[in-house]
Amino acid sequence: MPALPDKHRSFIEWYLEVLELAQLTDKRYPVKGMNVWTPYGFLARRQLDRILIEEIEATGSKPVEFPTLIPQTEFQKEKEHIKGFDAQVYWVTRGGATELDIPLVLRPTSETAMYPMFALWIRSHQDLPLNVYQIVNTFRYETKTTRPFLRVREIHFFEEHTCQVDEGHATARVESNLGAFARMARRLGLPYLAVRRPEWDKFAGAFYSIALDAPVSGAQTIQLGSIHHYRENFSGPYNIRYEGPDGTSRLVHQTTFGLSERLLGALVAVHGDGKGIVFPPEVAPYQVVIVPIPSKMGPDPRPWTEELAGRLRGRGLRVEIDASEDRPGAKYYRWEARGAPLRLEIGGRESAEQSATAVDRLGTKVPIGPVGIEDRILGLLGEFDRRLYAAAEERFRASYATAATLEELTGSEKVRLIAWCGEEACGHDVERAIDGALLGTIVGDPPLPLGAPGPCVACRRSGGTVWAVAGRPL
């Protein structure tokens, strides 16, 4: 059987082959950057969405859904925003044979769809805060190489948009989003670092942008999502105003929080190994896969397999029985490639005593049952999740190293923590040296214990420097 390419030596080849092997997506659709959601990929995505919905709604956000098409006239109201997205929008210019008077854009993101409506919805301070989110498809005409889940032209996009009474409340919403993301990321088993993007790399139209980056392999990172503070940058052009308790009219301060199917790509990239995907139980399309092992001699394992599956489903687990004609070994390889957290093997022996042999995706094999078998399986899944996260955290910490000079950045096999004076010119020196990006300045706790920052890695100026992160975003 063909072995997978080495994950660390040739990450992208490994990544693409794993997706193929696991049948998580079908990238043969004849439009660049638009891939098909297969049943297995769709089931994983649904779990992902469920987690995002649960966590964001727990912070008081409500679901909405805005139209896919945006009139050019609305799209153009915020200058920086258009500059940032103009090169990447798809245009709808005709309806049937009729040229449209006002061309429509396929939303690349939904600020310009939502904000004219927000202006109608918000009248008084009693309408605030407005916290809404939607999960929809957005379209961006990416010019760089597209990759399934990581860079696509039709994006499965989670976006929260909020309106707050003032800058302080908007800042508090950013903090709240950081907390919500921390909970989401833990459920996905994804360690990450929150950084404030440099001015030249912030979201088009934002006051500032916080990115959530996960290290993947060497100095490579994946942006898992972003949180933006808009201040009044959009509420001005869109005239989103409210009347305060004192009767004065004020502009709202806005924030957004965006995530996408990149999270799925990141799950594959961060947890995957030489055998394929490793899904945390929360996201796994099937948390338990049962492999019956028939034999001419001994009892037929199928009745016990069916009964156990039913009992586990009764406890809320997602269970699949692999009843295909393949031999047991072939099934083991298949479900390892597809990342099932727990496999139960049931042959004549287990069937006779109503037990099972459990093997988790990290390779731990134990006999279980017959007494308390459902509880034992739930326990094994919980333990698996903890070990998976602990292993990911360990790799996370090992992904970072400090660098005191530009020379150390060249060809770096780690994501680098550097002292930076904040000057854009120095930032670009850093980017050239590492052949990547200055990802931003650290928000919250650093991944390594760091002392006070030394002189700027580029200009050597002492004093007034901050810790920043440099890597190669995928």
Partner RNA sequence: GGGACUGUGGGGUAGCUUGGUCCAUCCUUCGGGGUUCGGGACUCCGAGACGCCAGUUCGAAUCUGGCCAGUCCCA
Kindly list the residues in this chain that would bind RNA in the complex (CB under 7 A).
Answer: 1-3, 20, 28, 32, 145-146, 275, 293-296, 325-330, 332-334, 336-337, 345-350, 357, 359
Q: Choose between 316 and 329: whose C-beta lies nearer to RNA.
A: 329
> Under DSSP, is residue 7 helix (H, G, I), strand (E, B) or coil?
coil
Instruction: Name the token pair of 59.
Output: 């912070």
Q: Choose between 18 and 188: whose C-beta lies nearer to RNA.
A: 18
Distance of closest approach, residue 296 Cβ to RNA, in angstroms: 4
Tell me how far apart the alpha carbons of residues 215 and 432 are, in angstroms, rounded to a whole number. 19
Distance of closest approach, residue 227 Cβ to RNA, in angstroms: 28
- Of the candidates 211, 198, 226, the one whose C-alpha atom is nearest the C-alpha of residue 420 is 198
Q: 39-57 and 262-271 helices cross at what angle (nearest 10)? A: 110
Distance of closest approach, residue 428 Cβ to RNA, in angstroms: 12
- Nearest 5°: the CA angle 336, 327, 369 is 65
Q: Choose between 365 and 386: whose C-beta lies nearer to RNA.
A: 365
Q: Choose between 212 and 373: whose C-beta lies nearer to RNA.
A: 373
Distance of closest approach, residue 212 Cβ to RNA, in angstroms: 24
C-beta separation of 380 from 395 below 8 A? no
Tell me how far apart the alpha carbons of residues 222 and 270 are, in angstroms, rounded to a whole number. 10
Distance of closest approach, residue 331 Cβ to RNA, in angstroms: 8
Q: Choose between 260 and 357: whose C-beta lies nearer to RNA.
A: 357
Eight-class DSSP state of 88:
G
Q: Choose between 359 and 377: whose C-beta lies nearer to RNA.
A: 359
- Of the candidates 290, 289, 298, 296, the one whose C-alpha atom is nearest the C-alpha of residue 351 is 298
Distance of closest approach, residue 348 Cβ to RNA, in angstroms: 5
Task: Count CA atoms within 13 Å of residue 210 on its CB side.
Answer: 22
Q: Choose between 349 and 387: whose C-beta lies nearer to RNA.
A: 349
* Chain centre distance of CA 440: 19
Compute the Cα dihedral for 35, 66, 72, 208 and give only its sign.
negative
* Exposure class string for 339-353: b at 16+ Cβ within 10 A, else e: bbbbbbbbbbbbbee
Distance of closest approach, residue 295 Cβ to RNA, in angstroms: 5
Distance of closest approach, residue 1 Cβ to RNA, in angstroms: 3
- Point out which residues pair with 95 in neighbouring strands: 98
Instruction: Name the token pair of 189.
Output: 């088993």
Distance of closest approach, residue 404 Cβ to RNA, in angstroms: 26
Instruction: Name the token pair of 358.
Output: 């459990």
Tell me how far apart the alpha carbons of residues 161 and 230 are, in angstroms, rounded to a whole number. 10
- H or E element, residue 133: strand 130-139
Provide the pairing of β-strand 342-346 with 466-473.
unpaired
Distance of closest approach, residue 355 Cβ to RNA, in angstroms: 9
Q: Choose between 303 and 444: whose C-beta lies nearer to RNA.
A: 303
With a CB cutoff of 8 Å and minimum separation 6, the contacts of 272 are: 7, 14, 15, 18, 278, 339
- Point out which residues pair with 196 in neighbouring strands: 210, 441
Q: Choose between 230 and 332: whose C-beta lies nearer to RNA.
A: 332
C-beta separation of 72 from 181 below 8 A? no
With a CB cutoff of 8 Å and minimum separation 6, the contacts of 181 are: 194, 212, 225, 227, 257, 259
Q: Choose between 240 and 437: whose C-beta lies nearer to RNA.
A: 437
Distance of closest approach, residue 249 Cβ to RNA, in angstroms: 45
Q: Choose between 239 and 295: whose C-beta lies nearer to RNA.
A: 295
Q: Choose between 101 and 325: whose C-beta lies nearer to RNA.
A: 325
Cα separations in angstroms, 314 against 136, 216, 425: 32, 37, 60
Distance of closest approach, residue 313 Cβ to RNA, in angstroms: 21
Instruction: Name the token pair of 319.
Output: 């269970």
